[in-house]
Structure formats: C-alpha cells, structure tokens
A and B are shown apart, each in its own frame.
Chain A
Amino acid sequence: MKLDNTQAQMRKGILELCILSTLNNESKYSSEILHTLKESKLIVVEGTIYPLLTRLKNSKLLEYNWEESKTGPPRKYYTITKEGKFFLENLNESWLELSNAVSKIRNL
C-alpha cells in the first residue's frame, strides 16, 4: 500500500467538489482555478485539471465562454450551471457528513 496513492485517491475524490466551489460565485478560467487549487496543494501537475473540467462540462455542471486575453491565447471562462449548483449543494452535504463521521471515528 503506497501512501502517495492513497493521498492521491483522497484528493481526487474531493477535487470535483473544490472546482465547483471555486466557481460558485464567479467565473474563472483554468489558470485561476489552478492557482487556487495549487495554493491548497490539491493539485500537483496542472494537466490533471483538463480532463476534470471537460468531464464536468460534459455533465452539464459547468459551461464556458471564450474571452480574449491581452497577453496570450483566448481563455475559456468557466461558469457553474444551475445543475452544477444543485450538485455542489449535495456534495457539500455529503462532505459535511463525511468529515463529521471521520472526525468522530478518529476521536474515538
């Protein structure tokens, strides 16, 4: 059993929750999302985010529109959808339940 592997698995489970949370109040493009996630060390290599964003977009939890950038290529600004908000609420609830359960068990 590898420690990295378990940690990666744990991170991955909550990554969707975190991406949706960062987009809850404002639309962002990938680098901004990455910035937040990297700050909290949730993501190590940046390439990981793209399959995730695409999957969330394909599940209609996110949508994007293109915006021009002065310094580089046009950016995809992601916005959370209604379904995404609903999904996030459910995820938040489960997260609370889970973290309560985990802390309870750990404090036994």
Chain B
Amino acid sequence: MNTTKDIHLSHIKFTIDQEAYKNLDSYLKKLSLAFSSNTSKDEILEDIETHIAELFSENTSVNQVVSMSQVNKAIEVLGSPEELAKDEDESGTSSKNNNIKKKFFRDTEDSYIGGVASGLSHYFGLATVWVRLLFIVFSILPTVPLVLIIYLIIWLIVPYAKSNIDKIRMTGETLNVTSIKNKVESVLPEIEKQVTDFDKNYAKGIWRNLKYYVKKTIKFFIKNIGKLFKLLSIIFGYILMFYSFFLGLSSIFFVFISSYIKNIISSYSSSAELIIEGSTIFEINEYLQIDIFDIVTSITIFWIVFFGFLIVIPCIVLFIIGMKFAFRNRVKIHKMTMYLLSSIWIISIMYLVYKLGKEIIFYNFGNT
C-alpha cells in the first residue's frame, strides 16, 4: 500500500504516488535552477509543467494514480536538467558567469537600521559585531556627521540582497589576509570603469540621470521613512550622549578648578602674604583683590558642589535619554535612579534659590 498526493499541473488535478511526487518535485526544482539565469524562467517552467500534464493525461485514465514510471518517462522525454542546462549555456542568451562573484549587498535579515554594517561585514568576511562597534566608536567621536553621511550614502546606493542568488553572492567566499590584496587590485579597475561609465552617462543626459536619482531618492525615503526616523533618533541619541557627557565632564572640571582657585585665594586673603613666583598672578590679584575677595567669600564648598549638581545631573539625565534613543529597549534604567537624581537636583535648586535670596536680602539691607 502506498500513500498518494493530490497535485495540479496547469489547472488539472492529478493524484500521484508519494514517491513519484518527490521525484517530480525535485525534477522541477532542478529545472528551476537550470533556467535560473533565463529571464523568462517562469514561463518556460510553466510550459514544461503543461507538457508534463499533457503526458500524464494521455497515459492516465480518470481516477488512476500517476506512477513513478510515468514520472520517469516524462523526465526522459523532456530531458534531464543537466541536458537542458547545457543547452541553456550554449544558446548564449545569457552571459552566465559560472564562478559566483562576491558582491556588496545590504543584509536586511540581520539589521538594526539598513543592514549596512552586516553587509560590509559579509563583504570583508568580518564578524558583524566588529563593524557595528566601529560604527559606534566613530559615532561617539566628533566624526558623527561623516559617519552619518557615509552610512546614508551606502544605504541609498547599495541594494539589499533580495533573491537567494544575491544572498549567495553577498556572503560568497570570505576574504583572508592574502586575498585582500588581490581583491583590492581586482576591484580598482572596476571602480575606475564605473567612474568612467558614470562620466559617460553623465555626459549623455545630466537631466535624465538627475531626474532618475531624485525619483529614486524620493521613493527610497518614502519607503524607508520609518527606518529613517529610527536612524535619526539613534543618531540623535549618540549626539546627545556625546555632548551631555562632554558638558558633564567639563562642569565637573569647572567645579574642581573653582574650588582650587578658592583655596588659593582664601589662603592668600587670610595670610595676606601669598607669594607666587613671577608674581604676575599676585599683581593681578592685587588689582582685583577686593572684587575677588567679595566673590570668593560668598562661594562656599557647598555652593560649588550644588552648582555642580545643578549642571551635572541634567547632563546625566540627557546622557540616559541619549542612550535610550541610541540603544532602544536594550538599555534599562531603574526608576529609582531617576527619582534619586531628580530629587538631588530639586534639592540643589532649592538650596541655590535659598542662598541667592538670602544674599540679595542681605545685600539690600546692608545697603540701606
């Protein structure tokens, strides 16, 4: 006893033996490969299916099961995939390239934004993590706009790997250290050719090209608007992280410097005998003595610390927001941290207001 399967070829239903079905299916799949470089592949395969259907219906009466021998006979009549593929190659309709050349594609299956990093890593045979890391490092440095532009250009120009053949070409053979040199050498003339081709096209019709690219760009943006926003928010996050970090660091630095200066001045003013080598600072201080003295006496360590908090905490918060933008949900910040930071900040602001108010009142009363 054998199991059967119902199939339809060219809208005609056949009941076929399970084993025969497997054979037929693999035959059709191999044919699809044999004609893969033909632009009318689908039509040819359809015609061949129709032919098979014809052969089956000639030799099978109603309710009869298509057997293995019938499938084999049909394959024999139509020709093996190898025979047909050989004809394909000789017919010269397609310039089929037997050795698969590696090509740069974006990998949208493994992507955060546009699959540029993963595409690059496939192309150079590196682990994707390193390329991503490189992108991140360059986006933290003040090279943000450059990285942004390069990324966008690659995203715009390089197609993503659509078909299986693209995917094979994308991963291709991986490069090793010795072959990189060869690769670069072989790629250089290609680039030159592309550049000259571009020049030729450019001369042919600047407007046509321009129109084409503008159209393509607009289409691209409309299609990828969601991703674009995502990308922009990630970049925004990185920039925010970078500048808030910078601002925080510099304000901490400022706090230290000012407390240091205070120490110097207060020690000078208390002993009134501080001698600084070269005595330039000394002289300056003598001129400014009163002013500085006034200010300095009003600055306390608390002042400095609270002033620092006032700037540093928003910087930390901005940094966290930047991280949220840049790394999305991969960053988890505990709510308590936020509460703590904001309460410290509020306390410092209240202290500042209190101090300022006291100073003003004291000053006013002092004057009158």
The interface of chain A, by Cβ under 8 A from chain B, is 8-9, 12, 30-31, 44-48, 50-55, 58, 71-76
Contact = CB atoms under 8 A, between A and B. Distances in A.
Given A48-B79, A55-B93, A71-B58, 19 more contacts: A8-B87, A9-B90, A12-B90, A30-B51, A44-B83, A48-B83, A48-B84, A50-B47, A50-B48, A51-B38, A51-B84, A51-B91, A54-B40, A54-B44, A55-B91, A72-B58, A73-B54, A74-B11, A74-B50
Contacts of A45: 77-80, 83-84
A49 to B, nearest CB: 9
Contact of A73 (B9, B80, B83, B93): B9
A55 B47 CA distance: 13
Nearest to B88: A51
A106 B9 CA distance: 50
A107 to B, nearest CB: 30
Contacts of B9: 73
Contacts of A75: 50
A97 to B, nearest CB: 22
B144 to A, nearest CB: 51
Contacts, number: 77
Nearest to B79: A45
Contacts of A74: 10-11, 50
Most chain B CB inside 10 Å of its own CB: which residue of A47, A48, A55, A58: A47
Most chain B CB inside 10 Å of its own CB: which residue of A12, A30, A50, A71: A50
B311 interface: no
Interface string B218-253: 000000000000000000000000000000000000
Contacts of B91: 12, 51-52, 55
Where chain A touches its partner, the secondary structure class is: helix
Contact of A51 (B10, B35, B51, B53): B35
A71 B83 CA distance: 29
B139 interface: no
A74 B49 CA distance: 12
Contact of A47 (B12, B48, B58): B48
A72 B49 CA distance: 12
Nearest to B50: A73
Question: In the complex, which range does the number of interface residues on chain B fall in?
Answer: 20 to 34
B48 A12 contact: no
5 contacts: A30-B51, A31-B54, A44-B83, A74-B10, A74-B50
A73 B57 CA distance: 8
Contacts of A54: 40, 43-44, 47
Contacts of A72: 12, 53-54, 57-58
Contacts of A50: 44, 47-48, 51
Nearest to A51: B44
Contacts of A9: 90
B41 to A, nearest CB: 9
Nearest to B93: A55
Given A71-B57, A73-B9, A73-B57, A48 B87 contact: yes
Nearest to B92: A12
B56 to A, nearest CB: 8
A46 B93 contact: no
A47 B11 contact: no
A64 B47 CA distance: 12
Contacts of A47: 31, 48, 51, 78-79, 83-84
A48 B82 CA distance: 11
Interface string B1-22: 0000000011110000000000
B34 to A, nearest CB: 9
Contacts of A52: 91
Nearest to B78: A47
A55 B50 CA distance: 18
Contact of B11 (A8, A58, A73): A73
A39 B363 CA distance: 119
Contacts of B44: 50-51, 54
Nearest to B87: A48
B12 A73 contact: yes
